[in-house]
């Protein structure tokens, strides 16, 4: 009897772990993260347009931050409004909670690095210094690609979301066109064309997956509790 109980407990634990893993994967594969990268590319495309104008550097940085953080806020609100009610809330195991904390730390580092690169690049143009020293175009591109791909690779691993590597490759390709090929110097608004194309691709993937998710995962019907009807008795 003890062996049977132990086997039942093992099977129950495996079943709960499978449910938790499936719920986690479904949440991470709702298409909203893809759409978020679409917003990130869109922000870069807008900055590429502003770079061709005489607007202040602060305005460009503000536009970049507003679009990117707006995308994050929109993802959180849409996920809370449409995804969570369909999947329910799951209390994850301590191991997965720790991985989520690691993910948040990596995201914070990514944001800090992105902001620092934008600010330092802006100051380098104004103060007349070179951000990456004596590195040539290829060296700068490889350095930026490493800064971009390593955190994204870590996020893809923690989130069990390999498709994120595609967007890391997009970012690396965009920087290659910008730094090595110098496409924006050769073609007016070249940076906007490159980032705009990647933005359209990311939004198309994200919206398609999100729409498919809404169709395949309907909201659970609310269970109405029976109401008590008070009767009037004649005396």
Which residue bears the tokens 């590195």?
Answer: 135
Provide the CA 203 distance to its chain's centre, in angstroms.
Answer: 12
Q: Return the SS3 of 147.
A: helix
Q: With 70 as the cut, is the pLDDT of residue 186 above it?
A: yes
Q: With 80 as the cut, is the pLDDT of residue 94 above it?
A: no
Task: Give the model's pLDDT for residue 11.
Answer: 46
Contacts of residue 115, Cβ cutoff 8 Å, sequence gap at least 6:
65
58/70 Cα distance (integer angstroms) = 18
Q: With 90 as the cut, is the pLDDT of residue 22 above it?
A: no
User: What is the rounded end-to-end Cα distance, in angstroms, of the chain?
Assistant: 62
Higher pLDDT, 204 or 144: 204
Which H helix or E strand runs over 172? helix 164-175
Q: Which of 22, 14, 57 is nearest to 160 (CA)?
A: 22
Q: With 90 as the cut, is the pLDDT of residue 179 above it?
A: no
31/209 Cα distance (integer angstroms) = 5
| pLDDT, average across residues 111-125 | 60
Task: Give the pLDDT band (50/70/90) at residue 102.
Answer: confident
184/174 Cα distance (integer angstroms) = 11
Q: With 70 as the cut, is the pLDDT of residue 230 above it?
A: no
Contact 45, 195 (CB under 8 A): yes
- Dihedral of alpha carbons 128, 133, 136, 139, sign: negative
- The per-residue pLDDT for range 156-165, each reduced to its tens digit, is 877 777 888 9
Q: Which two tokens stand for residue 131?
A: 């951000």
Q: With 90 as the cut, is the pLDDT of residue 85 above it?
A: no
- The per-residue pLDDT for range 42-70, each reduced to its tens digit, is 988 998 898 888 888 788 888 888 998 89
Q: Return the SS3 of 222.
A: coil
Task: Give the model's pLDDT for residue 173.
Answer: 92
Q: Name which of 76-90, 126-140, 221-235 the model is least confident about.
A: 221-235
Task: Give the model's pLDDT for residue 170.
Answer: 92
Higher pLDDT, 114 or 222: 114
Helix, strand, coil percentages for the chain (3-state, nearest 5): 75, 0, 25
């Amino acid at each position: 009897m003890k062996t049977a109980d132990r086997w039942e407990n093992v099977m129950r634990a495996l079943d709960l772990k499978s449910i938790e893993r499936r719920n986690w994967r479904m949440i991470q594969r709702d298409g909203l993260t893809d759409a978020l990268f679409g917003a990130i590319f869109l922000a870069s495309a807008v900055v590429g347009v502003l770079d061709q104008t005489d607007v202040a550097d602060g305005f460009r940085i503000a536009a970049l931050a507003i679009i990117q953080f707006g995308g994050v806020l929109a993802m959180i609100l849409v996920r809370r409004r449409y995804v969570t009610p369909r999947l329910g809330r799951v209390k994850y195991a301590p191991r997965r909670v720790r991985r989520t904390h690691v993910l948040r730390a990596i995201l914070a580092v990514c944001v800090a690095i992105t902001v620092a690169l934008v600010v330092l690049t802006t100051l380098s143009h104004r103060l007349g210094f070179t951000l990456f020293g004596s590195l040539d175009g290829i060296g700068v591109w490889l350095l930026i690609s490493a800064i971009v791909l390593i955190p994204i690779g870590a996020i893809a691993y923690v989130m069990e979301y390999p498709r994120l590597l595609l967007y890391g490759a997009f970012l690396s390709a965009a920087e290659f066109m910008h730094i090595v090929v110098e496409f924006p110097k050769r073609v007016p608004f070249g940076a906007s064309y490159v980032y705009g194309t990647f933005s359209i691709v990311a939004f198309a993937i994200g919206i398609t997956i999100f729409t498919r998710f809404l169709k395949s995962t309907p909201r659970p019907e609310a269970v109405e509790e029976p109401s008590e009807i008070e009767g009037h008795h004649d005396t």
